[in-house]
Structure 1
Amino acid sequence: MRTRTKPALKPNTLKQYEAACERLKENFADFEPREVLQRHVVALKLHMAETPNMSNRVISVLRAVFTYALEHQIVDSNPCIGVRRHLEHKRDRYITHGEFQAICANSSDNMRAIYEMCYLTGQRIGDVLAIRLADISTDGIAFKQEKTNARLLVQMTQDLEELIARVKALPRKIRGLTLFCSPRGGKPVHYSSVKDAFAISCRKAGVEDASLHDLRAKSLSDTDDQGNDAQKLGGHTDAKMTQRYLRLRKINKATPPRLFSTLDKVSN
């Protein structure tokens, strides 16, 4: 199954699928493929109801596994057919400027630079960690987005220029090919390290319900609020996709009706 699907999946998607597979192993370790019935899949779905996104991903992976097994005559049916997905609520968490400053203040110099690069470029964390020194020019930073393969040049600004200079000045025993690398070995920084460090920084800063992915939403939201093109910065071909990231909603102002007693006084 892995060798068949791996070439068609992006690295980040593959990691998510592998995490889903671990959850499946925990729940179906004692089952033979033909023993898994629809009621077992439904039970798993309900068991994971508190994490609907992960639950949906796990069921999707299980559905793909049984599709493969069905095609190879390992099973006679796919027990995932007819099992509906959880309704996934849209995340609307917006990290304020004060919260972002507090998070950065409670971070190491290395991690702070990564968070700030996520914000200034508006790119996904995987694309930020993959920035090579060769991708940086006086024009800006060139990206080829891992998820969409879209090419994008984030134009150089004074903030970006100063941040890049600060990153290059960080102490390194070995300088790697990527802008961000481990202080000792010079290897690219791993996503899980940044994710864990961000959670620790948030806890120290007293910032709740914030995730590393909220930095991209903050960047695109602030870009839109400042009158710039958030869709271009996000690398989206569809404006609807950009709207999913915008979390600075304009507040509608409405005039309420007057009380009847007030209307009587005016008429008299």
Structure 2
Amino acid sequence: MEQVIANGLFLGAQYALIALGLTLIFGLMNVLNFAHGQMYVLGGFITYTVYGQLGLPFAVAVICSGITLAVIGGFMERYLFRTVIRRSHREESTMMLAAATAFFFDAVMLLVFGEKQRGVPKIVKGVFNNFGVILPYDRILVGLIAAILILGFIAFMKYTKTGRAMRALAQDRVAAQLMGVEVDRYTMIGFALGAMLAGLVGGLLVSITGVNSGIGGPISIKAFMMIMIGGAGVVSGAIAGGFILGMMESVGLTVLREYGDVTYLVIFAALMVFLSIRPNGLMGKPWG
């Protein structure tokens, strides 16, 4: 049981970090970024290149992943999503744009890195084996870093001027604009921050699970599941959804390990039942 809880907490910390970026973008722009999983993968490939190929320190590689994805996210919001939102009054337009960017990233990463699984040397060697828990030290380190990033994100959103402005935009865009909040500026910052979080967690997890050009879609699906569980556009909901999904996977893969993919079948079935009872998630509000 201790092992199941430890695995669930590790997965939950990673998933929560992924979901935070997606729910931030949705809360600010009411846009589901279908390319979020691809941003995660791109962050992994950047860390693979900087750390695994160029030999620079792992911390430098992860920071490069975050900065690169932040810049890409800022450009996407400024020159793609902002333009489409202004010129089109149909929500389907932004959804199609998000899907197109996801396919574009998939094609570019497949062309540059190919189909092979890529990994990097372990950042920390050794295994923790005590209290009925067996975890490699690198997983513990990555889990702690993810937890620190989550706490840092919460503090940033709560105590900084930029964070408060983005929270105001997420709660009521029109009211925030009337109060003097620069909508375009903070929307771009929010999109860049959401993309940066995806890049950071992708860079962290390449040291654990590796990365390949075909996992962007499944990562996006998991991110959507997390924000549906917790409530779209709600930071606390994204964190709750991430840890709930992590624990469900840990328990399912332990109890149903002999049946392979049945775990995810059960998780999707449970999600369908949950959403039929609580369509806005645990902490969410009606969409639109």
Using CA pairs under 8 Å that are at least 6 residues apart, name the structure with larger relative contact order, 1 or 2: 2
TM-score, structure 1 as length reference: 0.22
Give the alignment's TM-score, normalised by structure 2.
0.21
Bigger Rg over Cα: 1
